[in-house]
Amino acid sequence: KTVHSSFSTENAQPGATTGSKVSKKIDPSSFRGKLKSYGELSKFRLSSMVVLTSGAGFAAAGMPLDYCTMAAVCVGTALCAGSAGTFNQLYEIDQDAKMKRTITRPLPSGNVSPTEAAVFGLSTGVAGTALLYAATNPLVAALGLANIGLYAGVYTYSKQHTEWNTWIGALVGAIPPVMG
């Protein structure tokens, strides 16, 4: 077990509450470790917010709600968002390896290889776009695919080069509710 604390833990008794946080290290090669790495690679928390905005856009379109189509929109959007997050991290491996905040991400830490990440990003992007095409309509699928390119390509590149990245990021964030 690893103990993280701002207090000295030399004399702490096991199980004592000294304000410390006890955490168990996960083996990155285990199934659970790989699952965690792929969740981080796809930026699961950010992707969850994207799915919420897509679902909210679907709900705002009015009644009656078709829950099967709504589920397809949300799952397809999640897959596309995961793809975009993965390609973003592939592009930024070198920068992520230099920053304390990002050095433990799956690619710089070596928990996921660039080849594995590329296959994952491509697979989730194709699956998400195909699901959106099959279960919704071609426009929603095109928006999902375009948002992968916009986020992973244009936005990610522009972060290092121009302040316009904020506007590009705003467009990336506005597309999922429209997809819904």
Per residue in 108-123, pLDDT (tens digit) is 999 999 999 999 999 9
Dmax over Cα atoms in the chain, in whole Å?
64
47 vs 125: CA distance, rounded Å = 13
Q: What is the average pLDDT score of the chain?
A: 86
The separation between the first and the last C-alpha atoms of the chain, rounded to the nearest angstrom, is: 44
Q: Which is higher by pLDDT, 59 or 3?
A: 59
User: Measuring CA to CA, how many Å separate 149 from each of 5, 111, 139, 157, 164?
Assistant: 41, 25, 15, 11, 16
Q: What is the CA radius of gyration of the chain?
A: 19
Reading the block at residue 136, the tokens are 């919704």
Instruction: Specify the pTM.
Output: 0.81
90 vs 110: CA distance, rounded Å = 12
Torsion of CA 142, 76, 131, 31, to 10 degrees: 130
- Tell me if 152 sits within 8 A of 88, measured CB to CB: yes
pLDDT in tens, 75-113: 999 999 999 999 999 999 999 899 999 898 999 999 999
**What was the pLDDT predicted at 28?**
74
Residue 2, helix vs strand vs coil: strand
